[in-house]
Structure 1
């Protein structure tokens, strides 16, 4: 019996470095699981669009869409279900986050950036327009806080409050009130460089970490999401 196709579906970016980072995840998935058919797709900005990829599958081809996204938002709840609606043999897995392994990776990025114990940490997520779109980011912040002695708060690049500049200002007030020097470190909870990551540097934080990628952890989580979705199909 052939293995279901893994459709690795990312957001999409015009940033060449960000595009390369996503394609590296696909290459790592293929390296970890030789023989597994892996196809790239995007929900915005880049091609091939997910709907076109799904429509182009031969009739009866089993496939699992694995969102290379860090939480449940509009793309996961609306765009992906819409793209696969007419193909019952194509199912969707949950997004990559929240996940304890991502918390460990975020903590690693913070240490690489020079985090001190008295710094405030602001987890900067993309944001979602859905009412419950912040739940996953808040859970990821909780997982990160379990690994650090620092105050950890959440802010968003778009579509949710607080925005990152306001989050930086509020957290700076908190850590200053605690008697610390008031440094705020933005933890980039974004997959790769691109527009949203670039905007973080305008928020007047003391430090902005590198994004989540590159890291082989993402490919490992993606395959776990795929395997779970395949198992649920029976």
Structure 2
């Protein structure tokens, strides 16, 4: 059984290596292929077209937005493959965020900073993650949805927050993560790709049979 890992893609070298390192870890236990939906090659549709047998497609994405439901699903349509849910579905990565939050130190306010999506279901998933955190967190986005992270930070400052932690709900270093450092917070947490909870989640999805197709 082949495991096809599908990441978004980034031009940032550090982010590229974080995703490759995650793929190498999964590759210790599975026959792994790595593909992308944007920016980098090979594209998922090209890798899917060359699959020789059944495959589990694991999106290296945090929510079940457009890339999972449309881009990845469309790219593997017709192949002997089933698409797993996004990594963060059902709050699976809350533990990793809690660890990042603890490492960031005390905070007067927390912004849960996600990539953003025009898909309301994706935004609802992010809101559910924020609600599951042990402290109140304002949801904000790097793109495609509001409020933006800088807007959220400014509002918290205006309300009296002195130390604002920007809790990055992003998998790898890239344009969005780097923009968080210009959003006005006091601390920006690292991306999640190297956290053990994320590795375990990918391994779980890669080995789970049977998997349910997304509605």
* Fold match by TM threshold 0.5: yes
What is the RMSD of the two structures over their aligned residues, measured on CA atoms?
Answer: 1.7
Tell me what 1:39 maps to. Answer: 33
Give the C-alpha shift of residue 132 in structure 1. Answer: 2.7
Moved over 4 A (4+): none
Matches within 5 A, 1:114-193: 114-116=105-107, 119-144=108-133, 147-148=134-135, 151-174=136-159, 176=160, 181-193=161-173
Q: TM-score, normalised by structure 2?
A: 0.92
In 2, distance between residues paired with 1:5 and 1:74? 24
Q: TM-score, normalised by structure 1?
A: 0.85
Q: CA separation of 1:105/1:62 partners in 2, compared to 1, >3 Å: closer, same or farther?
A: same
Contact residue 26 and residue 219 of structure 1 kept, 8 A: no
Cα deviation digits, residues 185-229 of structure 1 (max 9, x gap): 10011111110001111111122111113223222101222333x
Q: Please, which runs of 5 or more residues in structure 1 have no aligned partner?
A: none
> Of residues 66, 69, 75 in structure 2, which corresponds to 1:74?
66
Q: CA separation of 1:92/1:101 partners in 2, compared to 1, >3 Å: closer, same or farther?
A: closer
Contact residue 7 and residue 38 of structure 1 kept, 8 A: yes
Contact residue 29 and residue 220 of structure 1 kept, 8 A: no
Q: Please, which runs of 5 or more residues in structure 2 have no aligned partner?
A: none
Contact residue 130 and residue 139 of structure 2 kept, 8 A: yes
Tell me what 2:47 maps to. Answer: 53
In 1, distance between residues paired with 2:36 and 2:60? 9
Q: CA separation of 1:100/1:74 partners in 2, compared to 1, >3 Å: closer, same or farther?
A: closer
Partner SS, residue 75 of structure 1: helix
The reply to whether residue 24 of structure 1 matches residue 21 of structure 2 is: yes
Rg larger for: 1
The reply to whether residue 102 of structure 1 matches residue 87 of structure 2 is: no
Q: CA separation of 1:37/1:207 partners in 2, compared to 1, >3 Å: closer, same or farther?
A: same
Q: When the two structures are aligned, how many residues end up with a matched partner?
A: 212
